[in-house]
Amino acid sequence: MSDNATAARRSAIYMLDQILGEGRLLSECLAAGALDRLAPEDRARAQRLTLETLRGLERADRLLENHLNRTPALTVHNALRLGAVELCHGEAAHGVVNSMVDIVGRSRKHGRLKGLVNAVLRKVAAEGPEAWPKMRVPRLPEWLRDPLIMAWGEDAIAGMEKAQFAGAPLDLTVKPGASGPGDVLPTGSTRLHDAGQVTALPGYGKGDWWVQDAAAAIPVRILAPKPGEKILDLCAAPGGKTLQLAAAGADVTALDVSETRLARVHENLKRTGLKANVVAGDALEHQGQYDAILLDAPCSATGTIRRHPDLPFAKDGSEFGELIELQARMLAHAWSLLKPGGRLVYCTCSLLPDEGEVQVEEALDQHPDMSADRAALNIAGIESEWISEEGGLRLRPDYWADLGGMDGFYIARLNKSA
């Protein structure tokens, strides 16, 4: 049994405890240093195990409930869940079972349950790998699934859940004139299905590309920045859209309220050799006049679950109302910063119409000088049926199913009359 493998599993169990027990996001766990003591390869393994367990949680629980008289303490339950997922993904039973028994056995609170862990996981090892692929695709929790079914229908949600269970490949945006690894997608991004370590990929050190989901790269393409234009990127971190704007030759101001998150923007600008004016500040207090504005508003992030399966477990939808109000305020303020004749792209990585289509419908009613630019949505790779009634673009995880899906996004380009 590898000590490194056990350390990665122990860290994964800790993060599962935080997500499922404390309602923390995986990103919050990582920012708090949950994996800092591990070597890079073990950090990657712990993170992968956490994500795989969250994606397969429903299946793991169904396998385990056949062998448990009652639900054990969360840490023990998460050790069993992680072990079940690994066993059903083909890991050697000896290593997985011994590792989980060791982890639980060393716990002062739960050490007495190591025999239970051993017995249950050996039963899962015997029957789980055959049963796993026959089980239904794990479903979203009801607090999220129900409103999404109301918006898109059961068939669409089933397709989204399938995409989310499969996880997300790695998408890159390549700097103009450079090249990047992977297959070129219809919208121009490149995609790798087995990327490995990002920093080891060709072109990373030279700054030829940056990691950005294909859907997240579309808002800037719809904005269509021009060299020399004064453009504001509101809520800019971690900076993928800022890099796109800078690569187009625009005079970019990248604004975000979080100085910590802006550190990523600075790092990416330095690596790629691109330039932008990076500002830490409140989007609702920022002043100035701009030729174009990109507002990627704070949202539920429900469109990113294929990459962030912790979201539906760490959240419960209680923040939706506050987010929707904030989005409306940000859109109204951003509109006041736009020069006459300018254009604004509003987008959210949400699957909820209240954070996308409805926001734009209401903004169009409130601003007589605002119009939705349908023609701007006519870019490479965009299907006409993705364009919504009010003139925005609705992207969903079940689109491009044969290519590996995409994040859920809503995007609208709004023009200001001259």
326 and 202 part of one domain = yes
The proportion of the chain whose per-residue pLDDT surpasses 70, expressed as a percent, equals: 100
Strand ranges for 313-384 from DSSP E: 338-348, 370-372
Same domain, yes or no: 86 and 190: no
Residue 161 lies in a domain: no
Instruction: Quickly state the pLDDT bin for 57 (edges 50, 70, 90).
Output: very high
Which residue pairs, CB below 8 angstroms and at least 24 apart, start in 275-282? 275/246, 276/233, 276/242, 276/245, 276/246, 276/252, 277/251, 277/252, 277/253, 278/236, 278/242, 278/254, 279/253, 279/254, 279/255, 280/255, 280/256, 281/255, 281/256, 281/257, 282/257
Please report the pLDDT score of residue 3 as a whole number: 77
**Cβ neighbours, 10 Å, residue 273:** 12
Is there a single domain that holds both residue 206 and residue 122?
Answer: no
| 392/246 same-domain check | yes
pLDDT tens across 141-169, in order? 999 999 999 999 999 999 999 999 999 99
The residue among 154, 151, 165, 162 whose CA lies nearest residue 57 is 165
- Select from 113, 134, 155 the last residue of a domain: 134
pLDDT (tens digit, 9 = 90+) per residue, 256-303? Answer: 999 988 999 999 999 999 999 999 999 999 999 999 999 999 999 999
In one letter, which amino acid is 339?
K
Q: Do 124 and 201 reside in the same domain of the chain?
A: no
In a 3-state reduction of DSSP, which class is residue 412? strand
For residue 145, being part of any structural domain is answered with no
Q: What is the pLDDT of residue 2?
A: 61
Query: 3-class DSSP state for residue 209?
Result: strand
On whether both 292 and 395 belong to a single domain, the answer is yes
Tell whether 249 is covered by a domain: yes
Q: Which domain holds residue 339?
A: 170-416
Q: Is 149 among the domain residues?
A: no
Q: Is residue 360 part of a domain?
A: yes
Within this chain, do residues 327 and 410 fall inside the same structural domain, yes or no? yes
For residues 36-51, average pLDDT: 93
What phi and psi, each to the nearest 5 degrees, are found at residue 136? -70, 160
d(CA 45, CA 53): 12
Confidence at residue 197, expressed as pLDDT on a 0 to 100 scale: 84
Is pLDDT at 1 greater than 60 in this prediction?
no
349 annotated active-site: yes
Domain count, the chain: 2
* 124 shares its domain with 230: no
Residue 3: HSE in the Cβ half-sphere, 13 Å Cα cutoff: 2
CA distance 49 to 118: 19
Q: What is the pLDDT of residue 366?
A: 97
The answer to the question of residue 165 being in a domain is: no
Mean pLDDT of 39-57: 95
Q: What is the CATH number of the domain that holds 349?
A: 3.40.50.150
- pLDDT tens for 361-399 read 999 999 999 999 999 999 999 999 999 999 999 999 999
The candidate with the shortest Cα–Cα distance to 302, out of 283, 284, 282, 324, is: 324
Last residue of a domain, one of 108, 134, 160: 134
260 and 402, same domain (yes or no): yes
Query: Are residues 244 and 309 part of one domain?
Result: yes
Distance (Å, rounded) from C-alpha 412 to C-alpha 382? 13
pLDDT 10s digits, 175-228: 999 999 999 999 999 999 988 889 889 999 999 999 999 999 999 999 999 999
Q: What percent of the chain has pLDDT over 90?
A: 94
For residues 203 and 86, state if they share a domain. no
pTM for the full model? 0.93
Mean pLDDT, the chain, as a whole number?
95
CATH number, domain with residue 30: 1.10.940.10
Establish if 153 belongs to a structural domain: no
Asked whether the bond before 238 is cis by omega within 30 degrees of 0, the reply is: yes
Determine, yes or no, domain membership for 158.
Answer: no
Alpha helices in 177-272 (DSSP H): 218-223, 240-247, 259-272
Tens digits of residue pLDDT in 63-93: 999 999 999 999 999 999 999 999 999 999 9
Same domain for 119 and 221? Answer: no
